A = this chain, B = another copy of it.
Amino acid sequence: MRFTSEQRLDGGVLEREFSLGEIPGVLWTPESASAPAPLILVGHPGGLRRMYPRLVARARHAVAAGFAAATIELPGGGDRPRFAVAEEARADLRRALEAGEPVPDEVVDRLVRPLVDKAVPEWRAALDALLALPGIRGPVGYSGGVIAIGLRLAVVEPRIAAALLFAGSFVPRAMVEEARQVTIPLLVLLQWDDEGNDRQLALDLFDAFGSTEKTLHANMGGHTGVPPFEGDDGNRFFARHLR
């Protein structure tokens, strides 16, 4: 892991870009802290530069509550080499959406499964590197989409102790079964009128999670309309489980 840039944001936040091999990432930490900060991994649908305004807003909110936050680019996202199998599936997905047709399950499978299989080991490698830094500690939270990546991480990565999952992206139906293996505390955010999301599948997924502590927060508005108070709710959720 190699830091490539560093800047101070107002509010006492230190932002550092890094490279983990070929994978770019960003780390946000409190500029001054008396004790190591629990880490929150910030998930997103790929394209760090495009997503930056929303990511930095979420990270600043987490740092203000005493957490460290970090994210890495997804396979095929941003400047990373195209990810052929996912690109093809994405084109098929776009065709279905533009034609106003239901998205076939096999397209979702082709899009999400290889992404999850490739991304999850990368996020785990990032965890190894991040937790070796001074000032950062586990247990770790995962916050955001892609929900299928958060779900798989929750199953396989024991350092992740709580997850706030955005139910706003496609999930292979077979992963609804995998959700039964998740046992960590969950907060699932669902945008009730999310144009690109299958509400019933999101409810089925929430139902399937094996966690005894799981909470669903459904709000009005489209995909990007999560109300600001959910940021505070998220911080309190992580404070309960990472402190």
Query: Measuring CB to CB, which residues of chain A are less than 8 angstroms from any residue of chain B?
Result: 192, 203, 206-207, 211-220, 227, 229, 232-233, 236, 240
Contacts and interface: CB of A to CB of B under 8 A. Distances in A.
A218 B206 contact: yes
Number of copies: 2
A162 B236 CA distance: 23
A187 to B, nearest CB: 10
Nearest to A221: B212
A220 B213 contact: yes
A192 B207 contact: yes
Given A192-B207, A203-B203, A233-B233, A218 B220 contact: no
A229 B214 CA distance: 12
Given A233-B233, A240-B229, A216 B213 contact: no
Given A212-B220, A218-B218, A229-B236, 11 more contacts: A203-B203, A206-B218, A211-B220, A213-B220, A213-B227, A214-B220, A215-B217, A215-B218, A215-B227, A216-B216, A216-B218
Contacts of A216: 192, 216-219
Contacts of A207: 192
A210 to B, nearest CB: 11
A213 B211 CA distance: 28
A203 B203 CA distance: 10
